[in-house]
């Protein structure tokens, strides 16, 4: 479903409010733009359950905000406030009034332009030394928990390949 939305030729804008966590945020990552109401929080908390973000978050999030910030969000499971999400590039705009009206206005602004597909954004080159250091830190802080270290591997391994291959890395790790 996310790939189908991402592939549409008409702009799709995710209007976020409250909390957009896990699959909800991953769905928004597949949209062409994201707008959030003030007070919205976003995150990928799957590692707290011993899982990975399984709907492309490991491949789309780094393309939007960079590898280091994405790994922080994925491995910490922290919720990012809307203002910080905008600074990172996770959302494109903050609603100034009515969220729905502002989302429609953003979509109208994007109409007629080629959709910005997250999958087509350049993959940032992962810093493998930083990834190994993060894995060592996680092993010390969270002994016996493997989801976080696996997520680091999936992000770095996936970004080193074309998007579809990175998604295959993501899927294999999720179902392991």
> Considering just the CA atoms, what is the radius of gyration of the chain in Å?
16
Active site residues: 26, 46
Q: Which tokens belong to 60? A: 């789309």
Confidence of residue 126 (pLDDT cuts 50, 70, 90): confident
Segment 70-84 mean pLDDT: 94
Task: Decide: 154 and 173 in contact? Cβ < 8 Å.
Answer: yes
Q: What is the mean pLDDT of residues 42-52?
A: 90
Walk across the sheet containing 41-43 and list its strands: 19-21, 41-43, 80-81
Placement of tokens 């899927």 in the chain:
171
pLDDT given at position 38: 96
pTM: 0.91
User: What CATH number has the domain bearing residue 149?
Assistant: 3.90.226.10
Distance CA 80, CA 20 (A): 10
**CB count in 10 Å sphere of residue 29:** 26
| Owning domain of residue 41 | 2-175
When pLDDT is averaged across residues 129-147 and rounded to a whole number, the result is 86
pLDDT at 144: 83
What mean pLDDT comes out for the span 37-54? Answer: 91
Structure tokens at 155: 């992000």
Count of domains for the chain: 1
């Amino acid at each position: 479903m996310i790939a189908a939305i991402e592939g549409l030729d008409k702009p799709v804008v995710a209007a976020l409010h409250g909390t957009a966590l896990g699959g909800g945020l991953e769905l928004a990552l597949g949209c062409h733009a994201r707008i959030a109401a003030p007070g919205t929080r976003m995150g990928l908390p799957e590692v707290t359950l011993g899982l990975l973000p399984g709907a492309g978050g490991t491949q789309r999030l780094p393309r939007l905000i960079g590898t280091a910030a994405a790994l922080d969000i994925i491995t910490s499971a922290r919720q990012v406030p809307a203002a910080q999400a905008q600074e990172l590039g996770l959302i494109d705009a903050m609603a100034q009034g009515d969220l729905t009206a502002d989302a429609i206005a953003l979509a109208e602004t994007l109409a007629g332009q080629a959709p910005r597909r997250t999958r087509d954004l350049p993959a940032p080159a992962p810093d493998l030394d930083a990834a190994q250091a993060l894995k060592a830190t996680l092993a010390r802080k969270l002994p016996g928990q493997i989801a976080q270290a696996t997520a680091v591997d999936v992000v770095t391994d996936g970004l080193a390949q074309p998007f579809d291959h990175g998604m295959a890395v993501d899927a294999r790790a999720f179902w392991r």
